[in-house]
């Protein structure tokens, strides 16, 4: 692991905190009625987030960067899995029952 100073860590931490804040503000402003369709439509974007988080977690810049990257991998992966589960439940609602 290289000895990286706080001058390179602070911009990364700033971007992480800003992204978390913007994400929270966007999600809280969406009406609950739209959560299911939006969750279904954003699975591909969440998968891209998983790839980016893996890249961040794998870079050995600083221990805080690695911890934040692993946290991002877990959060993005749970979002993808939850989206697929929710989509499956939504599609089952539209199927006709066999007798």
Q: 82 lies in a domain?
A: yes
pLDDT band of 26, cuts 50, 70, 90: confident
Q: 99 lies in a domain?
A: no
Q: 76 lies in a domain?
A: yes
Q: 1 lies in a domain?
A: no
Q: 77 lies in a domain?
A: yes
pLDDT in tens, 33-43: 666 666 666 67
Per the CB < 8 A criterion, the answer to whether 67 and 12 are in contact is: no
pTM: 0.53
Q: What is the 3-class SS of the chain, one letter each residue?
A: CCCCCHHHHHHHHHHHHHHHHHHHHHHHCCCHHHHHHHHHHCHHHHHHHHHHHHHHHHCCCCHHHHHHHHHHHHHHHHHHHHHHHHHHHHHHHCCCCCC
Domain residues for 73?
Answer: 6-93
Q: Structural domain tally of the chain?
A: 1
Q: 98 lies in a domain?
A: no
Q: 85 lies in a domain?
A: yes
């Amino acid at each position: 692991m290289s000895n990286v100073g706080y001058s390179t860590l602070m911009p990364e931490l700033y971007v992480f905190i800003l992204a978390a804040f913007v994400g929270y503000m966007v999600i809280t402003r969406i009406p609950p009625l739209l959560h299911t369709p939006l969750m279904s439509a954003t699975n591909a974007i969440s998968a891209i987030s998983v790839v980016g988080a893996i890249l961040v977690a794998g870079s050995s810049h600083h221990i805080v960067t690695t911890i934040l990257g692993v946290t991002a991998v877990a959060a993005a992966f749970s979002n993808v899995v939850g989206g697929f589960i929710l989509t499956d439940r939504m599609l089952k609602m539209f199927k006709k029952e066999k007798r």
